[in-house]
Amino acid sequence: MAKIVGGIAASHTPTIGFAKDARKQHEPGWAPIFEGFEKIREWLARQRVDVLFMTYNDHITSFFFDHYSAFALGVDEIYHPADEGGKPREVPPVKGHAELARHIGYALMADEFDMSFFQGKPLDHGILSPLSVIGDETGRWHGSIVPLQVGVLQLPIPSARRCYRLGRSLRKAIQSFPDDDLRVAIVATGGMSHQVHGERAGFLNEEWDNEFIRLLETEPEKLADMRVAEYARLGGMEGAEVITWLIMRGALSDTVTKVHQQTYAPSVTNIATLIFEDIGDEPDPKEIAEYREHIYAQLKGAEELPGTYPYTLERSRKGFRVNDFLHRLIEPAHRERFVNDFEALADEYGLTEEEKDLIRRRDWIGLIRYGAIFFVLEKMAAVLGVSNPEVYAAFRGETLEQFLATRKVAMTYGVGAGGKTGGERQESGS
């Protein structure tokens, strides 16, 4: 069973990253920021933390309003710094703990949280501002992370109660991960009071910030009962993102020990650092075993269905590169190069020789077994002028005629425009 050693809260204002990159750590106006983060660094070292589970909100960098999720869990093995308008910060990429992330994803879905999952997306200052200060002089954190992006910028957003409940499930998820040596800290980023838009820009309320921290430690249920509008009134509209701290608090034991607290309001945002140590009892092994059964109950047996390849997070991770490559066939320029300049295009996307060979040979079932999902293969088929039933037949090891003989109507069709593969099948086979 993995162990939760405690929780951290840290502001993620870009001010922090700017100050580190500009080497302002020892200037009087900036030094207090780094003093608080030094306490976190020391605590992480003492606790021998391996993984940081980090809640954050992206600032319309990697996540945009064309698809904006409430809870998006990163399940990648590496995360690169994002370009937020100038160029990416010169900080190292961060290692992800993909196996733990997947386990948490299954657990939260089993507990009926409607999760989204992401990979291949860079991280903005929502994570990198605090993480780069927690790390060494180069900004490298030597453990790994599991990031959870909480959509709090486009209303409606999750309630404080929903965040707190997610934290309660997160505790069980992490404790049920089968690695007795893994030590995990829960990190809440963002907050505290601030507003960065409109005539109320620059709003601060340090009195509320201190009261929030007191309640977070001793009476989190009161915070869970508050409405988003109350958080906005007391802490500013953007300061309402502090509800994500309730995910961290929910993942800890009912009673915690506060070992560090600091707030500092030099400009637009009250910059905070906070550490709680978890002092809960060890979980009951029988309850952990039952919870593991609960996590994977929905899929149990599906993997035994012959000729069936459930598209799990594990398969998605393995096939991500080839799926991304084939998904981009929806772009005209990518389609044109796929047909006329495949080798160079595949090299640009870093496809392995195995992946290139599967595509060259139109090995439809081989691609499925490798980790491709059917819905990118039908895009590839459309580009090549191959009908969907021809792909189904190839999956089954049959000719098109053999497959169509098993259907009530012998029709061919595809997703491409122009009807090149559509309509009922003619005697010619076209």
Catalytic residues: 125, 194
Structural tokens at position 106: 């299954």
Cα gap 28→12, rounded to integer Å: 20
CA atoms within 13 A on the CB side of 395: 19
φ, ψ at 117 (rounded to 5°): -130, 140
Break the chain down into helix, strand, coil percent, rounded to 5: 45, 15, 40
3-class DSSP assignment, residue 257: strand
Cα gap 387→38, rounded to integer Å: 61
3-class DSSP assignment, residue 378: helix
State the DSSP string of 143-181.
SEEEEEEE--SSSS---HHHHHHHHHHHHHHHHTSS-TT
From the list 52, 73, 244, 77, the residue with the least C-alpha distance to 132 is 52
Which residues touch 259 (CB under 8 Å, ≥6 apart)?
6, 43, 275, 276, 277
Asked if residues 157 and 65 have their Cβ atoms less than 8 Å apart, the reply is: no
Asked if residues 322 and 363 have their Cβ atoms less than 8 Å apart, the reply is: no
Structural tokens at position 157: 């957003």
Cα gap 119→99, rounded to integer Å: 13
DSSP state of 260: E
Asked if residues 272 and 193 have their Cβ atoms less than 8 Å apart, the reply is: no
Give the Cβ contact number of residue 154 at 10 Å. Answer: 12
Measured over the CA atoms of residue 317, residue 94, residue 99 and residue 9, the dihedral's sign is: negative
